[in-house]
């Protein structure tokens, strides 16, 4: 099984690269945030699973100091991005008037807070309950160390669960809105006519499965962590062994908990690829890149040898039909 870990992580990187053109075309903070966080986390997973294959040695402590914080931040950054996307689906499927929709500036501020600001705040607050420098688990590598206490539950384990639960409620509300529109034979997306039902369903399936996995995983973690809580006396007492490295024994509850968190990254990556690769937005992204490559290549070739896609400039073609003379 340990040999499959770097394979899954590297495969996830390749799959994310394949759908980047479609995500770039969306040009939204949540979509780009998901791609960036998952891409970096899969790189970290690949390196960790290779370096710590069948061993628990303390490799590259500075690398672990940085990578554990990034992996921890992704645990709220990705659910936060999913929450923003779920909120968008709920808004476009609702019967709100266009004038009552959130302004683009307000929307961008909320997305920046959920996808970037809160994850960095979350990583900073983890230092309060970080009782060891980091933990090491065989095959998975270094993991963030969390003190099993009530502050540890509130500051680390509870936020991803709450964010995922809110995102799931938005998804449920979107389903209700679509069902009402279907029963009443009205437009599905009154505030977003450009939204297609197939795209809506694909996004809804991805978001629902992703937040369900996160919610179930952190429900298990919360239930396990709450059964063996340690007393919280002071930050100084918790940080007494801050410079030490914890070795997580395999086949323990903490090892299973670390595996649940680890597998969330490739799970999100595979889901995103499966529901994006055949989407029209990804195809349009590849066509746009191909047209750009051909256009650039034409600058270095003879005009007679340059072959561009049919109707590369629709606006120019429209003007020529209107009676304008286009000189060759």
Q: Kindly state the average pLDDT of the residues 50-73.
A: 93
pLDDT of residue 320: 41
Give yes or no: residues 313 and 172 share one domain: no
* C-alpha–C-alpha distance, residues 102 and 88, integer Å: 10
Q: How many residues does the chain have?
A: 328
Q: Kindly state the average pLDDT of the residues 218-229.
A: 89
Give yes or no: residues 154 and 247 share one domain: yes
* C-alpha–C-alpha distance, residues 85 and 276, integer Å: 14
| Residue 200 burial (CB count, 10 A) | 18
Give yes or no: residues 172 and 320 share one domain: no
Pairing type for strands 134-137 and 141-143 reads antiparallel
Give yes or no: residues 207 and 321 share one domain: no
**pLDDT band per the 50, 70, 90 thresholds, residue 326:** very low
pLDDT tens digits along 246-264: 999 888 889 999 999 999 9
Residue 305 scores a pLDDT above 70: no
Helix (H, G, I), strand (E, B) or coil at 135: strand
Residue 112 scores a pLDDT above 90: yes
Give yes or no: residues 78 and 155 share one domain: yes
* Full-model pTM: 0.82
**pLDDT band per the 50, 70, 90 thresholds, residue 3:** confident
Give yes or no: residues 202 and 293 share one domain: no
Task: Give the residue from 238, 260, 278 where a domain finishes.
Answer: 278
Percent of the chain scored above 90 by pLDDT? 50
Token look-up 């007679």 returns 304
Distances (CA, A) of 250 to 45, 136, 137, 138, 267: 18, 10, 7, 7, 22
Task: Give the residue from 247, 262, 278 where a domain finishes.
Answer: 278
Give yes or no: residues 294 and 153 share one domain: no
* C-alpha–C-alpha distance, residues 287 and 283, integer Å: 6
**pLDDT band per the 50, 70, 90 thresholds, residue 274:** confident
pLDDT of residue 288: 66
Give yes or no: residues 229 and 121 share one domain: yes
How many folded domains does the chain comprise?
2
| Residue 247 burial (CB count, 10 A) | 13
Give yes or no: residues 126 and 79 share one domain: yes
Q: What is the CATH number of the domain that holds 57?
A: 1.20.1070.10
CA 46, 51, 55, 59 torsion: positive or negative?
Answer: negative
Nearest to residue 171, comparing CAs of 90, 80, 92? 90
Q: What angle do CA 41, 43, 45 make, to 5 degrees?
A: 70
Q: Kindly state the average pLDDT of the residues 99-104.
A: 69
On whether the CB atoms of residues 135 and 142 are closer than 8 A, the answer is: yes
pLDDT of residue 153: 93
Give yes or no: residues 304 and 240 share one domain: no
User: For the packed helices 61-92 and 197-225, what is the interaxial angle rounded to 10 degrees?
Assistant: 130
pLDDT of residue 324: 40
Residue numbers of the domain that contains 307: 280-328
Task: Give the residue from 253, 278, 303 where a domain finishes.
Answer: 278
Give yes or no: residues 170 and 253 share one domain: yes
Give yes or no: residues 249 and 127 share one domain: yes
Residue 203 scores a pLDDT above 90: no
* C-alpha–C-alpha distance, residues 231 and 79, integer Å: 30
Distances (CA, A) of 220 to 167, 206, 251: 18, 22, 16
């Amino acid at each position: 099984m340990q040999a499959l870990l770097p394979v899954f992580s590297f495969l996830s990187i390749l799959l994310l690269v394949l759908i980047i053109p479609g995500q770039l075309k969306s040009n939204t903070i949540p979509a780009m945030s998901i791609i960036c966080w998952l891409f970096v986390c899969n790189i970290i997973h690949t390196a960790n699973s290779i370096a710590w294959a069948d061993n628990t040695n303390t490799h590259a402590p500075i690398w672990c100091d940085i990578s554990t914080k990034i992996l921890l931040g992704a645990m709220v950054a990705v659910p936060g991005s999913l929450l923003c996307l779920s909120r968008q689906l709920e808004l476009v499927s609702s019967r709100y008037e266009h004038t009552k929709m959130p302004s683009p500036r307000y929307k961008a501020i909320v997305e920046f807070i959920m996808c970037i600001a809160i994850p960095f705040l979350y990583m900073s607050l983890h230092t309060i309950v970080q009782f060891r420098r980091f933990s090491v688990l065989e095959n998975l590598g270094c993991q963030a160390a969390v003190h099993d206490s009530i502050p540890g539950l509130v500051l680390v384990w509870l936020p991803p669960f709450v964010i995922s639960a809110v995102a799931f409620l938005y998804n449920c509300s979107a389903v209700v809105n679509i069902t009402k529109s279907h029963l009443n034979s009205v437009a599905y997306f009154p505030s977003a006519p450009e939204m297609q039902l197939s795209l809506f369903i694909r996004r809804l399936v991805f978001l629902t499965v992703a937040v369900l996995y996160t919610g179930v995983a952190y429900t298990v973690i919360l239930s396990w962590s709450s059964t063996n809580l340690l007393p919280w006396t002071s930050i100084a007492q918790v940080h007494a062994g801050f410079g030490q490295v914890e070795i997580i024994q395999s086949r323990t509850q903490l090892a299973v908990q670390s595996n649940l968190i680890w597998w969330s990254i490739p799970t999100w990556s595979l889901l995103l690829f499966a529901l994006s690769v055949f989407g029209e937005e990804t195809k349009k992204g590849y066509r746009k890149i191909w047209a750009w490559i051909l256009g650039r290549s034409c600058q270095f070739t003879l005009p007679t040898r340059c072959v561009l896609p049919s109707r590369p400039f629709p606006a120019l073609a429209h003007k020529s039909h209107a009676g304008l003379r286009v000189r060759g």
